[in-house]
Amino acid sequence: MTQQVKLFIDGEFVHSNSDKLIPVTNPATQEVIAQVPCATTTEMQQAIDSAKAAFKTWKEVPVSERARLMMRYAQLLKDHQGEIAAIICEELGKTVEDAKGDVWRGIEVVEQAANIPSLMMGETVENVARSIDTYSYIQPLGVCAGITPFNFPAMIPLWMFPMAIACGNTFILKPSEQDPMTVNKLAELFVKAGAPKGVLQVVHGAKEQVDTILHHPDIKAISFVGSVNVGQYIYKTGTDNLKRVQAFAGAKNHMVIMPDANKQQVINALVGASVGAAGQRCMAISVAVFVGSAAEWIPEVAAAIGKVGPGHYSNDKAAYGPQISPQAKARILSLIAQGKKEGATCLLDGSDCQVDGYPNGNWVGPTVFSDVTTEMEIYKQEIFGPVLTTMTVANLDQAIELVNSSPYGNGTSIFTASGAAARKYQHNIEVGQVGINVPIPVPLPFFSFTGWKGSFYGDQHAYGKQAVRFYTETKTITARWFDDDIQVSGPNMSINLR
């Protein structure tokens, strides 16, 4: 009998009473490995009520104790990294090393959450006026929520709830219904680390459960990662309901290759950055912009990408796994076909990819296009698959103009041996995260993940110092103390301090 994924409410894993069940399938085989329930209205309210009640006591827990909880949690995640990765492999199809990397990048954020005492320090100035001091405190918001995508089922939830909870909030997590079991394992280890009852809730479901989070008055802040259309909906609906929202949305990331770059480094970087993780990452390089004579390298790039391919996670020679669903595969194949129809040259076509022993897998082989223009759908849309489009420009100025004309601004990189070219690029490019001879510039968590333009809706970004600002409010106190024998002057009728 297929297992039913449990909800995690008020400190316990519980069976849902819902009759709405969504199958969870192994994307390499189409085998149904679990059923995930759509939490009922009552269950959603129970989770919110539990989080609201827990906040009253959790916010009073000393910040040093919250930090030690995160230290214990980080160690448990390290101890169980392989176990978590195995769950990711089964329900998402990632290769083992990619799945382990998913977990590790999440662990790094938990380690940063353990630094919360220094991150939550306020400010103070003595004698802002005569015998008057001003100081500020950073205090938690209340019940916060996160809505996470399928592609990083460990890392992205760990971007959210550890930082929010370390700040003194409680948290409701709604993971993707396509791979929900990873998050349940994260919650199990959080309890083992010593998290009090009600501090974290995990609810499962689809749009109805998301809408409950967006509209419920007791939820103060929402973090979302996903597609551009859903991101816009989350941001607008959440803010219309007077919530603080950060919504990470679509991307179309460009790598600019200068003629003075190291060719082999460029080729190696493009192989991993374009088709790694089956292209299912918001920081994947999907457009390679070759400047001047560097365009001569395009055939060699296509040949190198053609040497890798998808496979089952049990095969250590597999470069990446399947697409998450048949629908995702069909969309990618449709865009590949459209690219050919629109006149792009398909140097490498992965449309008919097969993997021995897994005839039902959602396989798409590595695909490379040249002669791509900005009017083509394969350029305009986020394909979210192992497809690289290549373009050529005459000089760096044209490359910058091309990248800046994109509606997205998640990530970009430049490969060059010129410090002047790199400096010009990083200064003028309108993208939040820039790599110099680094293909996928995802920052470590003592910085923040800082997408721009149509890749992000909100004010404060994920993890790092900006996450602390997102999950807290600042309270400023102006104080004056009188001696018993002080001579009191007349009333002050102005706003001046004296």
Active-site residues: which are they?
282
Q: Are 437 and 426 in contact (CB under 8 A)?
A: no
Amino acid found at 32:
V
Q: How far apart are CA 36 and CA 5, in angstroms?
A: 5
- Sign of the C-alpha dihedral, residues 193, 198, 200, 205? positive
Q: How far apart are CA 266 and CA 365, in angstroms?
A: 21
Q: Are 280 and 95 in contact (CB under 8 A)?
A: no
Q: What is the secondary structure of 276-345 as a DSSP string?
A: GGGG-STT-EEEEEEEGGGGGGHHHHHHHHTT--B--TT-TT-SB---SSHHHHHHHHHHHHHHHHTT-E
Q: What are the Cα distances from residue 305, in Å, to 68, 156, 270, 361?
A: 45, 28, 8, 21
The radius of gyration computed from the CA coordinates of the chain, to the nearest angstrom, equals 25
**50-59 burial string, b = 16+ CB within 10 Å, else e?**
bbbebbeebb
- The closest of 111, 110, 118 to 64, measured between CA atoms, is 118
Torsion of CA 298, 302, 303, 309, to 10 degrees: 160
Residue 21 exposed, middle or buried by CB count within 10 Å (0-12, 13-18, 19+): middle
Between strands 244-248 and 408-409, the pairing is unpaired
Contacts of 207 by beta carbon, 8 Å cutoff, 6+ apart: none
Q: What are the Cα distances from residue 144, in Å, to 161, 213, 218, 221, 280?
A: 8, 9, 9, 5, 27
As a 3-state breakdown, the chain gives helix, strand, coil percent values, each rounded to 5, of: 40, 25, 40
Q: Are 3 and 35 in contact (CB under 8 A)?
A: yes
First to last CA, the chain: 76
Contacts of 395 by beta carbon, 8 Å cutoff, 6+ apart: 291, 292
- Sign of the C-alpha dihedral, residues 183, 467, 444, 77? negative
Contacts of 465 by beta carbon, 8 Å cutoff, 6+ apart: 119, 448
